[in-house]
Structure 1
Amino acid sequence: MSTTYLMTSTLNGFVAGPNHELDWLYDLPPGDRDFTTFLDGVGAVAMGASTYEAILRDADLLQHPERWHQAHGDRPVWVFTHRSDLPKVPGANLRFATDVAAEHPAMVQAAGAKDVFVAGGGGLAAAFAEAGVLDRIVIGITPVLLAGGKALFPADARLRLTEVERKGQVVFVSYQVL
């Protein structure tokens, strides 16, 4: 079991455009961004408020909560935010939280023998690293360049390369966090 930050990135290190746009990602062939195998090994998910809002918007989840359940089932998801105005997807196993270090033990317990998946964004992944609970980073590098946007990982980290895999037009690079 590990706590893993998996994120798809542009070649120049952005995970979203300047206004959290993900259209560049949706332009990739669906098979190149299929994370089904990875998600089968995930027992709990963490995401930041911007990521949560982007998927709410892009998948129209408040009108179609079944789309959330297709992706997550009953898997618990923690949304890390300091805001109290975020809507909850109806029927989702969802928790709003502020403190990574305080919540991580509950996430590990909820995950059981599976992984904790830090889904985004980069600031949240950095908070997991700073709390000393991030074990692995997996980056799906796409053949896309953006002029600006949200950084993949806005902090210092020392890593050890553990694996490289190609899936269509995306190269997945896995690192152990040292």
Structure 2
Amino acid sequence: MNSAVLYIAISLDGFVAGPNDDISWLLRYNDVDYGFNEFFSGIGAIIQGRRAYEVEIKHGWETPIPVPTFVLSHHLPERNPQRSNVVFTDEDVSEVLKKAKQMTNKNVWIEGGANVAQQFLDRELIDVIVLSIVPVILGDGIRLFGKTHKMIEFTLREVRQFDKGLVQLTYIR
């Protein structure tokens, strides 16, 4: 059975981006092999927020192999013929996840950002969390985890250490 996987990088103090969506602190890790290709080989669909999608396009970080991608947005643009695998939707996240899971027998990547991750957590729709912790303290910005309506427990499955002090924690629900 496929899982919904939140796979995301955070600073030591829990931010996914600095002020004004600044992600420059991540750029020095572009040359670190932190298992992304291995992770992505198990992904059959992606769900992400509009801001995360725009940052990805801006930096040329399109996925290595196009997979169906759902972009959560209140503003639905015309379909992009150059990226026919991308669908903008304003549907509820549980419905989007249901559709994504029906399209593949592989895992669904909940790519982010923080607002999207929070929506999935609040509804207890995330099965696996993979946090790549970057050894930097930002002090301000966009926190990954906000308030939840109740405690949600996860179990640590794996800890991996990579170059430049990056640590990756994998939790399952």
- The amino acid that maps onto 1:17 is G
Name the structure 2 match of 1:62.
none
Name the structure 1 match of 2:68.
76
Change in 2 beyond 3 A, CA 1:50/1:160: same
Name the structure 2 match of 1:63.
none
Measure how far apart 1:133 and its partner are.
1.8
Name the structure 2 match of 1:23.
24
| Counterpart secondary structure, 2:46 | strand
Distance, in Å, in 2 between the alignment partners of 1:53 and 1:172 is 25
Name the structure 1 match of 2:144.
152
Q: Does 1:126 align with 2:97?
A: no
- The amino acid that maps onto 1:40 is S
TM-score of the superposed pair, with normalisation by structure 2: 0.87
Segments of structure 2 that go 5 or more residues without pairing to the other structure are none
Measure how far apart 1:88 and its partner are.
4.0
Distance, in Å, in 1 between the alignment partners of 2:104 and 2:72 is 17
RMSD: 2.0
Measure how far apart 1:158 and its partner are.
2.5
Q: Does the Cα contact within 8 Å between 1:32 and 1:170 map onto a contact in 2?
A: no
Name the structure 1 match of 2:46.
45
Q: Does the Cα contact within 8 Å between 2:76 and 2:89 map onto a contact in 1?
A: no
2:100 to 81, 101, 107: 107
The percent identity for this pair of structures is 29
Distance, in Å, in 2 between the alignment partners of 1:21 and 1:79 is 20
Segments of structure 1 that go 5 or more residues without pairing to the other structure are 60-66
Measure how far apart 1:24 and its partner are.
0.5
Distance, in Å, in 2 between the alignment partners of 1:164 and 1:86 is 42
Change in 2 beyond 3 A, CA 1:146/1:130: same
Measure how far apart 1:40 and its partner are.
0.5
| Counterpart secondary structure, 2:74 | coil
Write the deviation string for residues 93-151 of structure 1: whole angstroms up to 9, x where unpaired. Answer: 00112211111111001122x10001111221121122332111110001111121111
TM-score of the superposed pair, with normalisation by structure 1: 0.85
Distance, in Å, in 2 between the alignment partners of 1:94 and 1:29 is 24
- The amino acid that maps onto 1:18 is P
Q: How many residues align?
A: 167
Name the structure 1 match of 2:160.
165
Q: Does the Cα contact within 8 Å between 1:6 and 1:118 map onto a contact in 2?
A: yes
Structure 1 runs of 4+ aligned residues shifted over 6 Å read: none
